[in-house]
Structure 1
């Protein structure tokens, strides 16, 4: 059987069809490109439209500006980052300063909790305040807390107290654990006192010989210790024993996370500011050693 010769026109048409691009190829490439573009647009939308660089590790400034994000993404790595305290009773006692920390002629007292100065007993006169009762209550809290050693409020955990005497001057040092949120508020309250309570009057018959006493509150510098700190010098002028007297107290508080130290130092002979600063510096360092798991010098005897 003789095979027919292919038609030349037919062969050329077949060859042309074989060399032409497949009809579906271009739509497939277009679809892939569209999907890729859509993915990029979706990713950009999810990023919040931030035109700046990608955020790096949180810094102190970032944490301060965005505390909620920091709390949910950054685990606490230092004692100051923890909202609760791990301070134990033994640790609090170990963190107390000793006579060697403040030098001079200070001697340790046997019962510092019995110290109370009657010049601090009285009611704040609200009449001298622009905001009346509200400001008077702030200043009343100050004199009451100086009287009963609750400058930062009542501790929520472990606490320890020691005291020293030199002539008519007395120095109290307390180490205590608090709820951090409460401690933060107490530190803010202390910082407001030089403005709110710069000068006011105490009335009542219990303070000194009775009558009015003038109280002044000024800010006092402290060493750069701890997470936050506040220093005050408080003077109370009144009468005692029939004559004029002036009680001068240095008041200092240093916060380390949910823990803090407080120092009050002074008396009718005035307050030695260098001693206050030494107590703050040494007391903070001892507390930080305890929180880091180390033991400072042995606890002195007689502390509470």
Structure 2
């Protein structure tokens, strides 16, 4: 199945003005004139935090705005099968997944809405197959996958460029309208009907998007319907992406559990904490 502007502090030319600023900073820090508690904190091996450029800054930025996700942090933020119910089994080859029902060219002539939307619908199909719905990460990333009968659940954590993540987020919001229903044609000329509808997620993270995607076509010569629940949760410039479902139907309940358990893990990592072990998790 995308950094932060640096904090600049001007140094007044007047010595009197500088003294006034120092006094104000000391008062806002409850009498601690050093104003350097944040800089004394030990750096976390899971998240590298950018710190204020001056001891005059009394307010510590929130983790989602100040922490940079590391490779170790991305791995620590992943969920395991103990975090989701049912009979999901964690697998090692999730990075190689790709459902062939998602391979096809959008039939622009048959679009029910504006023909210009064909590019967005094609982008959606390609992104679902390549597992890069938000584009290529600009920083650390990690993924894991789970299987249950004919269903799969892919879970990804990654850091993105701020502007590109904003653009991807805006694009996702348009898909239930632009790509509500369209036709894709496979390499043999077979037609597939694709539908995209808006879903909902628990109130987690800074923002969230949920899409339900169905692809009706043929698989191994027989009629088949691929149903996917696609969820994205944003925490600052980092994001969790979950794609769950298969020929047995979508897995929305498992998707909800994944983001409910995974979002606090990512926030813990960005705060320099070690995420709590989930049920059945081994250390």
Query: What TM-score, normalized to structure 1?
Result: 0.70
2:62 to 78, 82, 87: 78
Aligned length: 223
Q: Which has the larger share of helix?
A: 1
Counterpart of 1:282 in structure 2 is 261
Counterpart of 1:112 in structure 2 is 94
Q: Which has the larger share of strand?
A: 2
Structure 2 CA distance for partners of 1:74 and 1:211, relative to 1, 3 Å: farther
Q: Is residue 2:66 matched to residue 1:87?
A: no
Alignment partner of 1:153: what SS?
Answer: coil
| Between 290-299 and 106-115, the greater mean CA deviation after superposition | 290-299
1:235 to 180, 194, 214: 214
Query: What TM-score, normalized to structure 2?
Result: 0.75
Counterpart of 2:224 in structure 1 is 245
TM-fit CA distance, 1:81? 3.6
Give the Cα separation in 1 of the matches to 2:224 and 2:212: 16
* Gapped regions of structure 2 (runs ≥ 5): 1-56
8 Å contact kept, 1:168–1:267: yes
Counterpart of 1:269 in structure 2 is 248
Counterpart of 2:126 in structure 1 is 144
TM-fit CA distance, 1:202? 0.3
TM-fit CA distance, 1:93? 0.3
Counterpart of 1:212 in structure 2 is 191
Counterpart of 1:226 in structure 2 is 205
CA RMSD after TM alignment: 2.1
Counterpart of 1:192 in structure 2 is 174
8 Å contact kept, 2:229–2:244: yes
Structure 2 CA distance for partners of 1:81 and 1:103, relative to 1, 3 Å: same
* Gapped regions of structure 1 (runs ≥ 5): 1-72
Give the Cα separation in 2 of the matches to 1:92 and 1:86: 10
Give the Cα separation in 2 of the matches to 1:76 and 1:169: 43
Q: Is residue 2:80 matched to residue 1:98?
A: yes
Q: Is residue 2:114 matched to residue 1:131?
A: yes
8 Å contact kept, 1:228–1:255: yes
TM-fit CA distance, 1:139? 0.7
Q: Highest Rg: 1 or 2?
A: 1
